[in-house]
Amino acid sequence: MKILVLNGPTLNLLGTREPHIYGTTTLAEIERDLMTVGAELGVTVVCAQSNHEGELIDRIQAAHGDADGILINAGAYSHTSLAIRDALAAVALPYAEVHLSNIFAREPERRHSTLAAGARAVVCGFGAPGYALALRGLVAALRA
């Protein structure tokens, strides 16, 4: 089994970006943790990050026929991108959405996700450990 992990804009700055909201864990540390969890679960985890919407869409489309599921933190695109939502729908791969902060306790413009309705699950508010929770849940759902 193979899971694509996608991270959107500004997540490359984790660890230094607004640590009072997003914590001090870096994206590299999150990715290392996901690789460890993936090995424990016997799945291949492939991670990618982009600040560009089109590149995220290209990655989603390339996952069709290559991955079994997607774990995505589309960052601010979660709240605005119909194009990413459409790409996820087009490839028809099960996906889980993850956010470090509780988006429902944030500013009004962040309290809606265009991706959530199509997601198998949404994990938010647990900080960096939320990624591993989402990965474990997605793999369990795929194996069920």
Q: pLDDT, tens digit, for every residue of 26-68? A: 999 999 999 999 999 999 999 999 999 999 999 999 999 999 9
The mean pLDDT value of the chain amounts to 96
pLDDT value of residue 8: 98
Going by C-beta distance under 8 Å and a sequence separation of 6 or more, which residues neighbour residue 101? Answer: 21, 22, 124, 125, 127
Question: Can 95 be counted among the known catalytic residues?
Answer: no
State yes or no: pLDDT of 12 exceeds 90. Answer: yes
110 neighbors 73 (Cβ within 8 angstroms): no
Q: Where are the beta strands (DSSP E) in the chain?
A: 2-7, 44-49, 69-73, 95-99, 121-124
What gap in Å lies between CA 62 and CA 128, rounded to an integer? Answer: 26
State yes or no: pLDDT of 110 exceeds 90. Answer: no
- Exactly one of 20, 52, 79, 99 is catalytic; which is it? 99
State yes or no: pLDDT of 107 exceeds 90. Answer: no
- Exactly one of 22, 77, 95, 131 is catalytic; which is it? 22
Question: Can 99 be counted among the known catalytic residues?
Answer: yes
| pTM assigned to the model | 0.95
- DSSP letter at 114 equals S
Q: What is the pLDDT of residues 86-95, one digit of tens each?
A: 999 999 999 9
